[in-house]
Every structure is written in structure tokens, then in C-alpha cells.
């Protein structure tokens, strides 16, 4: 099943933390755009999602996020979480992509293969790397169901 279809049907939680649905603004139109992306790394403790532009720095979602860094993310069972996208420096992006390639051999076919020309150009610095870290907002605290159903009267 295609990731966008899974999210549209409310089944995005089945994809876990391997695929993220990123909602961002178009750089010229300002319209909301949704893109499903493979996650390079998910840090649950720090609430960071690392994603890479598989087709290089000219990818539309990447250019949109550079223009408008405030985004909305759906990952795992968390929906519509606000976040801020920050481009990674080139050396950190290369390190993270190499770690992901070593951790998940199948990753090289999906994301890292189109990035090989970019990874090979280590001598030519580029202004932005094709990898972005999305800092997610802290999770909303939910009131336990027991407190919602059986409210105690206030003491006088």
C-alpha cells in the first residue's frame, strides 16, 4: 500500500516510525502540500525526525521546507504534530546517511542511491545539504479517561 494512501485511510500508524507524512507550504503558492517520506532516523527521546531528499537538493519538498520551515508531521500514532525543519550541515548529513546505510541495507536502494553523486562530491561544499531534521513539539498531555468520566465536585 502506498504510504500516502495509508495515511489518507487512517492507517498510517501501521507504517510505524519508518515513514512520515510531512505537511508543508509551497514556496511560491503558499498552499499546503503533503509528502510521504522515508525516515532516516527517529529519536523518540529528543523528538527529532531526520529525513533526506532522495532526489537531491532540487527536490520540491526540500526547497519548500527551506522557504517555510514550520511544518506539520504525522508519524506513528501521532497526528498533526507541529515542528520546525532545520537543514543539516553537509558533514552531519553525510555521517547520518552513512549510518543509516550501515544500519539498514535496504535503505541504500530507496534513499541513498539517488544521493550517491551528492555524497561523492565531498570536495565541493554546497550551501545546503539535502537532509533535514524536524524538531517536533512536545506531545500534548491527555487527561486520563478516569478523570474525564468521573469528575469530583469541587469542595466548598
pTM for this predicted structure: 0.70
**Is 7 contained in some domain?**
yes
Q: In this predicted model, what pLDDT tens digit does every residue of 106-142 receive, in sequence order?
A: 655 555 555 555 555 544 444 445 889 888 887 766 6
| Phi, psi of 155, rounded to the nearest 5 degrees | -70, 140
**Is 25 contained in some domain?**
yes
**Is 156 contained in some domain?**
no
Domain span at 53: 3-149
CATH of the domain at 59: 2.30.110.10
> How far is residue 68's CA from residue 111's CA, in Å, rounded to a whole number?
23
**Is 32 contained in some domain?**
yes
> How far is residue 101's CA from residue 58's CA, in Å, rounded to a whole number?
22
Cell 565531498, residue located:
122
**Is 48 contained in some domain?**
yes
Give the number of domains in the chain. Answer: 1
Lowest mean pLDDT among 37-41, 51-55, 100-104: 100-104
Q: Are 65 and 132 in contact (CB under 8 A)?
A: yes
What band does 26 get if pLDDT is binned at 50, 70 and 90?
very high
**Is 126 contained in some domain?**
yes
Helix or strand or coil: residue 52?
Answer: strand
What is the grid cell recorded at 46?
529528543
Amino acid at each position: 500500500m502506498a504510504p500516502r494512501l495509508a495515511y489518507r485511510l487512517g492507517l498510517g500508524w501501521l507504517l510505524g516510525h519508518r515513514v512520515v507524512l510531512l505537511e508543508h507550504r509551497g514556496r511560491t503558492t503558499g498552499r499546503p502540500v503533503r509528502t510521504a517520506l522515508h525516515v532516516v532516523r527517529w529519536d523518540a527521546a529528543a523528538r527529532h525526525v531526520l529525513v533526506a531528499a532522495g532526489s537531491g537538493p532540487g527536490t520540491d519538498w526540500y526547497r519548500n521546507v527551506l522557504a517555510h520551515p514550520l511544518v506539520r508531521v504525522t508519524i506513528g500514532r501521532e497526528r498533526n504534530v507541529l515542528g520546525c525543519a532545520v537543514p543539516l550541515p553537509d558533514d552531519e548529513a553525510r555521517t547520518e546517511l552513512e549510518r543509516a546505510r550501515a544500519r539498514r541495507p535496504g535503505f541504500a536502494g530507496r534513499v541513498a542511491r539517488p544521493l550517491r553523486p551528492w555524497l561523492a562530491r565531498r570536495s565541493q561544499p554546497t550551501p545546503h545539504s539535502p537532509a533535514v531534521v524536524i524538531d517536533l513539539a512536545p506531545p500534548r498531555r491527555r487527561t486520563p479517561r478516569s478523570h474525564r468520566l468521573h469528575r469530583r465536585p469541587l469542595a466548598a
